[in-house]
Chains A and B, each alone.
Chain A
Amino acid sequence: MNTTEEISSEVIRIIRELIPEYSGELTSTTSFEDIGLDSLSRVDLVVETEALFDVEVPDSEVPKLVRISDVAGFVLANRAAV
């Protein structure tokens, strides 16, 4: 799983689990604010993403992750090379 699209797909899957009541479209450019993902649910997303991709998101970076593409980009840039 090395492309932004593949990582985004997993991020979208996690978001669907976190807010099953949201049935709208999710794309890499979707902002968390627009879909009602509150600050603590964003942390849930980050924690699950960290576990899935074996990355560590510093506390200071979490507020900067405001779109699905931000999360995917962080993972791509920081995950351990495999």
Chain B
Amino acid sequence: MTYGSAITGLAGYRPSRVVTNEDLAGPAGVTPQWIEERTGIRTRHECGPDEDILSMAITVATKALTASGVDPAEVDLVVLATATKLQLIPGWAPQVASGMGLRCGAFDLNAVCGGFSYALAMASNAVKMGDARNAIVIGSEQIRHMLQPEKPDTFVIFGDGAGAAVVSRSEHQHIGPAVWGSDGSREHVIYTERVGAEHHVFMDGPSVYKWSTKDMPAAARKACDLAGVSLEDVRWFVPHQANRRIVDTLARVLRFPDEGVARDVVVTGNTSSASIPLALNALRESGRTSPGDLALLIGFGAGVTYAGQVVRLP
């Protein structure tokens, strides 16, 4: 037997420390204006000593579950999307579940900035197939400690944060089929490398921009086709919040009305797998959305890999 699936709860978590362009300009040897003109970002958040991937994930997943009204005893799966966890074994999704008092199925997923859309597809499929009554999908990233001021293109863009969604069994198909793809020949455009005891992030910004602005519009249109809707039916465009320039170019190419485009990147920076649920939740908290609104999600990034889908908002 198969079921429908729907997002029933959303939540976001931004670490308490706000990092402004003024904070970063000096160490990076640039001006605050340079940062904003180049990235469109004004602030991003950074984990304090009591915050990390795990604590943010537990907090945000608990908030999303509360928002959904779902009984914790009816959660059967937790999927943690993260690309910045430095410990390889174990995966941390079981600790997220335990931190919530759950003993359900739990696994990590790493599709970098596309992670939330991949995880949402996995959770939705599990619910639709009857493998889970409810699933919690989390994107949680702590990346700022992996950045260096002498590499301003990454130093000023990325932020820490987490976002989560609860996916529940539904009479309706409110999470559309996933469109996804990858191009491993572009593995060099964003990657991490150990430098001494540290992990550093390297990015070829123009190549990332070229791939995303050239290939993601077609992926976005395909996600709409798979969901059986037209772009004009979609009220909200919520792409991965890579930087404002990429978001704006995608919106322009897709001719998306300006007021329907999520630009959470301006205040949150690029939080990798957390960016889409953070932006979705911010839209919802703004009071501008209505239940049932269609939103087009498309996550993309290092790999390179992408995934997206059309969803109806709770």
> Which residues of A are at the interface with B, using a C-beta cutoff of 8 A?
38-40, 42-44, 46-47, 50, 59, 62-63
B204 surroundings in chain A (CB, below 8 A): 59
B206 and A44 contacting across the interface, CB-CB below 8 Å: no
Measured in the bound complex, the distance between the Cα atoms of B249 and A46 in whole Å is 14
**B186 interfacial contact with A, CB 8 Å:** yes
Query: Closest residue to B153 on the A side, CB-wise?
Result: A39
A59 surroundings in chain B (CB, below 8 A): 186, 189, 204, 206-207, 210-211
A47 and B207 contacting across the interface, CB-CB below 8 Å: no
> Which residues of B are at the interface with A, using a C-beta cutoff of 8 A?
38, 186, 189, 204-207, 209-211, 213-214, 245, 249
B245 and A40 contacting across the interface, CB-CB below 8 Å: yes
Nearest CB in chain B: distance from A17 CB, A: 11
Measured in the bound complex, the distance between the Cα atoms of B186 and A8 in whole Å is 29
A42 surroundings in chain B (CB, below 8 A): 206
Measured in the bound complex, the distance between the Cα atoms of B210 and A50 in whole Å is 11
B214 and A50 contacting across the interface, CB-CB below 8 Å: yes
* Complex partner residue of A43 from B38, B189, B206, CB under 8 angstroms: B206
Beyond contacts A39-B205, A40-B205: 8 other A-B pairs, Cβ-Cβ < 8 A, are: A40-B245, A43-B213, A44-B249, A46-B210, A47-B213, A59-B204, A59-B206, A62-B210
Known: A43-B213, A47-B214, A50-B214. A62 touches B207 (CB 8 A): yes
Known: A50-B214, A59-B204. A43 touches B186 (CB 8 A): no
| Binding site secondary structure of chain B | helix
* Complex partner residue of A44 from B38, B207, B213, CB under 8 angstroms: B213
Give the most central of B204, B205, B214, B249: most A CB within 10 Å: B214
B205 surroundings in chain A (CB, below 8 A): 39-40
B213 and A62 contacting across the interface, CB-CB below 8 Å: no
A47 and B210 contacting across the interface, CB-CB below 8 Å: yes
Measured in the bound complex, the distance between the Cα atoms of B249 and A19 in whole Å is 14
Nearest CB in chain B: distance from A65 CB, A: 11
Measured in the bound complex, the distance between the Cα atoms of B250 and A44 in whole Å is 11
Query: Closest residue to A38 on the B side, CB-wise?
Result: B38
A40 and B214 contacting across the interface, CB-CB below 8 Å: no
Please list 20 pairs of residues, one from A and one from B, whose beta carbons are closer than 8 Å in the complex, sorted by A's number: A38-B38, A39-B206, A40-B205, A40-B206, A40-B209, A40-B245, A43-B209, A43-B210, A44-B249, A47-B210, A47-B213, A47-B214, A50-B214, A59-B189, A59-B204, A59-B206, A59-B207, A59-B210, A62-B206, A63-B206
A40 surroundings in chain B (CB, below 8 A): 205-206, 209, 245
B211 surroundings in chain A (CB, below 8 A): 59
Measured in the bound complex, the distance between the Cα atoms of B214 and A46 in whole Å is 10
B207 surroundings in chain A (CB, below 8 A): 59, 62
Of all A-B residue pairs in the complex, the 6 with the closest CB atoms, nearest first, are: A59-B207, A43-B210, A47-B214, A39-B206, A43-B209, A43-B206
Measured in the bound complex, the distance between the Cα atoms of B249 and A38 in whole Å is 15
Nearest CB in chain A: distance from B302 CB, A: 14
Nearest CB in chain B: distance from A14 CB, A: 14
Query: Closest residue to B204 on the A side, CB-wise?
Result: A59
Nearest CB in chain A: distance from B202 CB, A: 14
Measured in the bound complex, the distance between the Cα atoms of B245 and A43 in whole Å is 12
A50 surroundings in chain B (CB, below 8 A): 214
Measured in the bound complex, the distance between the Cα atoms of B213 and A59 in whole Å is 13
